[in-house]
Structure 1
């Protein structure tokens, strides 16, 4: 698509937006607003991780996708870097850009449900998408655990959750994207139109294009969910049952956690059946050998958004605003029991923070059809996440990041890979190894669609 003609330039920002640096003193006319004030710059300098601060020179509150394209072209012409930002939920400065432009996509948040699809701007929250689609009796097939994240943000990483055994990642359920490339072109891409751009943008960490709109597949929504909580005594029991259940497709949702006890660790599996009833309990759980089973009925919206209450509690405790050096890795099934057992044996619960969570989710890699995010080379893999919080009395944030790097090395040695949303310092060689067989295609897309390397420098890939 040919970039639209540049409009006449306009002087600087509106009153109260701060003084414009020289590179932004005369910018093209915008539907939104450029901000240079300390409040806007400070908000865009950090992220949820609380580890890295990189002040930008300006923040664009986009009023349209044309604003995004206009400012990417403006910055490219002046040798400035650009980083898109949704909810700022990254944990290691991935959406930051020192002395460059942060594009705040939060104002691009429209949601339109059309038949069995939703056309959604990148700044929309998944909670808004599910509420709009439920009004038509529909739902996106796949969710991450937390719905107060932006559509563009999770699609840029991939989007893993408990429905992956049936529906793959969130990226797997995208039919079409609108993006702004590093050349400032507004482009539409899909599996049939510009497939190389589509493949590089979904899960591509903002390296080739900024996602500005997505067309999402929708499916009929259940009315309620029968949610089971099952406890197991060992990691081998948990993973064996997860492997069985995800292979059978017995449940619509399947995840797991490791929980500390005075004597070590216990293991919880959460499994959900859409529109299930008490009459289904015996068939679904009696043969699983769990130490205990609890069941409850939950309205569907409450189920997919149930982490919101937990976040409210963590916010009240002050835990949600502390540094979060999170780690997320993907292990092949053949290595999961050994790596998890060894990791937990050396992990002191108090060292990883009062609100830390350890996740163990089964992943059918055949359901993950997009080349990104990268998956281990086995049919069954496990997301193993150590979601550390630098609480008082825990290890320091720096110690946690160092531990993440050691965990990454262990994961790679075991044939696994990183799910790249956390806090792990990687070298260029690490990134090349991470992308593996997709690296050449990914690098070619970067050179084609962002030839001057304008976009998303906080990932430190190129």
Structure 2
């Protein structure tokens, strides 16, 4: 039976690009297909601010069926398609020139039932925790910033400070609803189409777009006691973190390196114990080799959302809109001290920008049971991230990207892996090496579920 047709929303007459007839006969949709300048320009950039590629149209779906309908439509016409959550990618990963960008933010429903949450892919994590906390429940793992889409972080991996207990966000998914590159709306899980499930979680949108996820929930703490411990060196920081994550002493564990002062770099551990009190301080911190310690008590949501004030400050300073050539890597414990120490020693003023953040925290690879994101071949690894901003007076965005490529080569030589959310120019051979033992399975899933290769070309993998 043929699908009913109706005209799509007409293009803005002032738009610099017309669809050249590609979207003249669009099937009926629950949502809206947009050609106006505002929608096209919003989909032509991202948080990174480095890549600007204008699509021919933007879909604001009213249902998952809209996504499937338009993927089929584009496949028949040889058009590329990319899903976009909050546009927090940094190197054009969710852009597609002259194709279709699907703005998944309109698919944002949240449903809580028993000990699970069924959430559409465009919902943000703050909305999910806002729905679960009144019920005394919480998702197990969060990224640092709650205003990211659930589908977006599950497509990348989703690393956070709870990884020592629960793994990454992709390790805490019961079921997915996805739209494949063939335009099939289907469900997958560890037991239902497991090859698709494995290829979608952390799969960077190469086989399917996530329209819904079912996530387990755990009891939520009432409060959090957050400790900030200062360490004298990289080696002291990583040694403390290794001890703490292997013991499971804290519920949350991350670390940072602070921009150098005249005295040099400063190293900090943030460690949180849920529902702890000052009476627990001696047990939790007295035997550690820190040079200083601070403690504060926060309501659980305020703890999860504590990055928000920093983001608002960056926005008020204009830093949020500047280019962000981020670099994220996973280093094995055997080489982390050498790589981080040398990197920071050679990091010249202006190489990361005034509002940059440098992350360094441990990952128990055994807790990360999904094949993606790819982990180093050791039991203990460390996330090492240079979250750069091309601030006024700093190096240019292009210089920062070139430095990222050099850092990538150092990472690979040290047995590390790239956590692929940042800005690094990779070749096809680099991608094959990156996926390693999972490459053949991943490539087979790509050919099986997106045989015409229309999905997410901005990742530049295939």
**TM above 0.5, one fold?**
yes
Quick check: 1:12 aligned with 2:8? yes
CA contact (8 A) 2:256 2:358 kept: yes
For residues 171-230 of structure 1, the C-alpha deviation after alignment (integer angstroms, 9 at most, x for no partner) is 000000000000000010000000000000000000000000000010000000000000
Query: Matches of 2:349 and 2:418 in 1, distance apart?
Result: 23
2:22 corresponds to: 23
**Alpha-carbon distance, 1:243 to partner:** 0.1
Q: Which runs of 5 or more residues in structure 2 are unaligned?
A: none
1:258 corresponds to: 257
**Alpha-carbon distance, 1:348 to partner:** 2.3
Q: Which runs of 5 or more residues in structure 1 are unaligned?
A: none
Query: Matches of 1:109 and 1:300 in 2, distance apart?
Result: 23
**Alpha-carbon distance, 1:10 to partner:** 1.3
Quick check: 1:87 aligned with 2:86? yes
For residues 324-373 of structure 1, the C-alpha deviation after alignment (integer angstroms, 9 at most, x for no partner) is 00000000000000000000000024331110011001000000000000
Query: Matches of 1:405 and 1:6 in 2, distance apart?
Result: 50
User: SS of 1:24's equivalent?
Assistant: coil
After superposition, the Cα gap between the structure-2 partners of 1:70 and 1:119, relative to the gap in structure 1 and judged at 3 Å, is same
CA contact (8 A) 1:107 1:123 kept: yes
Query: Matches of 1:45 and 1:71 in 2, distance apart?
Result: 19
User: SS of 1:351's equivalent?
Assistant: coil
Query: Matches of 2:11 and 2:316 in 1, distance apart?
Result: 35
Q: TM-score, normalised by structure 1?
A: 0.98
CA contact (8 A) 1:13 1:20 kept: no
Alignment of 1:65-214 (within 5 A): 65-214=64-213
CA contact (8 A) 2:329 2:411 kept: yes
Query: Matches of 2:421 and 2:64 in 1, distance apart?
Result: 25
For residues 384-419 of structure 1, the C-alpha deviation after alignment (integer angstroms, 9 at most, x for no partner) is 000110001100000000000000000000000000
1:342 corresponds to: 342
**Alpha-carbon distance, 1:246 to partner:** 0.1
**Alpha-carbon distance, 1:16 to partner:** 5.9
Query: Matches of 1:373 and 1:25 in 2, distance apart?
Result: 39
**Alpha-carbon distance, 1:314 to partner:** 0.4
Query: Matches of 2:31 and 2:24 in 1, distance apart?
Result: 16
For residues 271-308 of structure 1, the C-alpha deviation after alignment (integer angstroms, 9 at most, x for no partner) is 00000000000000001021000000000000011101
1:398 corresponds to: 398
**Alpha-carbon distance, 1:98 to partner:** 0.4
CA contact (8 A) 2:361 2:383 kept: yes
1:325 corresponds to: 325
2:435 corresponds to: 435
CA contact (8 A) 1:146 1:305 kept: yes
**Alpha-carbon distance, 1:266 to partner:** 1.2
After superposition, the Cα gap between the structure-2 partners of 1:53 and 1:376, relative to the gap in structure 1 and judged at 3 Å, is same
**Alpha-carbon distance, 1:7 to partner:** 2.4
For residues 3-27 of structure 1, the C-alpha deviation after alignment (integer angstroms, 9 at most, x for no partner) is xx66211123258697654010111
Q: Which region of structure 1 is more displaced relative to structure 2, 260-269 or 290-299?
A: 260-269
CA contact (8 A) 2:50 2:324 kept: yes
Query: Matches of 1:187 and 1:262 in 2, distance apart?
Result: 57
1:305 corresponds to: 305
Query: Matches of 1:341 and 1:77 in 2, distance apart?
Result: 52
Query: Matches of 2:192 and 2:6 in 1, distance apart?
Result: 35
Query: Matches of 1:330 and 1:174 in 2, distance apart?
Result: 22
Quick check: 1:385 aligned with 2:385? yes
Q: TM-score, normalised by structure 2?
A: 0.98
**Alpha-carbon distance, 1:261 to partner:** 1.9
CA contact (8 A) 1:363 1:382 kept: yes
CA contact (8 A) 1:176 1:216 kept: yes
After superposition, the Cα gap between the structure-2 partners of 1:155 and 1:404, relative to the gap in structure 1 and judged at 3 Å, is same
1:222 corresponds to: 221
2:423 corresponds to: 423
User: SS of 2:58's equivalent?
Assistant: strand
CA contact (8 A) 1:352 1:389 kept: yes
Alignment of 1:226-305 (within 5 A): 226-259=225-258, 260-305=260-305
**Alpha-carbon distance, 1:263 to partner:** 2.4
After superposition, the Cα gap between the structure-2 partners of 1:21 and 1:34, relative to the gap in structure 1 and judged at 3 Å, is farther
1:34 corresponds to: 33
